[in-house]
Amino acid sequence: MEIDLIKQLYLLKWYEQEGIYELVKNQPINRTQNNDNDIIKNNDTIIDYAAKYNEKKINSNSNIEKLIANVANIEELESIIKDYDLCHLKAISNKTCFKEGNTSAKIILVSDYPKADDDLSGRIFSGLVSDLLVKMLISINLSINDVYMTNIIYWRTPGDRNPSDEEIILCKPFLERQIEILKPKIIITLGEIATNVLLNKNNTIMQSRGTWHSFNNRKIEYPVMPMLHPSYLLRQPAQKKLAWHDLLLIKDKIDELNL
């Protein structure tokens, strides 16, 4: 297949951005046979997709907020995000992990982005991470039914890399609109990425956790408590003492607000 040099360079750049280092077919190749036609036939399709994505990206950022400005409920917002084809991550993910929990809850948990288990289940938290989160909530007399959960990014990233600034910019309006609709009394950010995106900061989670912050959205102030992500606590169980300290602060705030 002949591809001009510009398209080849564009394709390689797109592969690099997506973390793609090897191409494979859907079916195995019999290497004992003549493989004169052993070539991936869909390069034009990939190039066209990348080019179309770039065109949409240029025209879409200014329109996202207008698209969702009049959305009145979470279900409608979820419908839009599932039809939302402007973020390239959706094309390489299994599930959209947009929300979970009680849409009437006054406490919102904001995580970062789906990992492998979440991408398969479509849940915000899966497996051992979900189990630990449930125990953390129970420790302050809460259950999954008492909270609403969402992500900063709604699709798994290649190789579970951190999301790019571009991906965050595309998805952040949906997070802000969720907060506008739900009007929570408390927001809990889990992990460094979720905390920095919501609060527009560039701190480590250790710098941010352990104290209350404020998120201003349309002149409404929301109290925000950054916490260590449950997945981090599974890797570093000695840090659970810090999480317990933060949970107690949240419990005090719940009592203060009579939630």
pLDDT band, very low/low/confident/very high, at 29 (cuts 50, 70, 90):
low
Nearest to 111 by CA among 9, 232, 244, 3: 232
What percent of the chain has a predicted confidence (pLDDT) above 70?
75
Is the separation of the CB atoms in 20 and 158 below 8 Å?
A: yes
Structural domains of the chain sorted by starting position, each given as residue range(s) with its CATH number in brackets: 94-257 (3.40.470.10)
Least confident of 2-6, 8-12, 149-153: 2-6
Instruction: In whole angstroms, give the CA distance from residue 179 to residue 237.
Output: 31
Characterize 49-66 residue by residue with b for buried, 16 or more Cβ atoms within 10 angstroms of its Cβ, and e for exposed: ebeebeeeeeebeeebee
The confidence score (pLDDT) of residue 11 equals 65
- Looking at residue 93, its pLDDT comes to 86
pLDDT at position 55: 47
Average per-residue pLDDT in the chain?
A: 84
> Model confidence at 17, in pLDDT bands (50, 70, 90)?
low
* pLDDT, tens digit, 9 for 90 and up, residues 62-81: 577 788 888 989 999 998 88
Alpha carbons 148 and 127: distance in angstroms, whole number: 18
Q: Whole-angstrom Cα distance, residue 48 to residue 41?
A: 13
Whole-model pTM? 0.77
Q: Which two tokens stand for residue 41?
A: 């036939």
pLDDT, greater one: 212 or 45: 212
The yes-or-no verdict on residue 54 having pLDDT over 80 is no
pLDDT band at 41 (very low <50, low <70, confident <90, very high): very low
Residue 51 has pLDDT above 60, yes or no: no
Q: What is the pLDDT of residue 7?
A: 59
Residue with tokens 């991906």: 167
CB crowding 20-31: b at 16 or more within 10 Å, else e: eeeeeeeeeeee
Q: Which residue has the higher pLDDT, 203 or 37?
A: 203
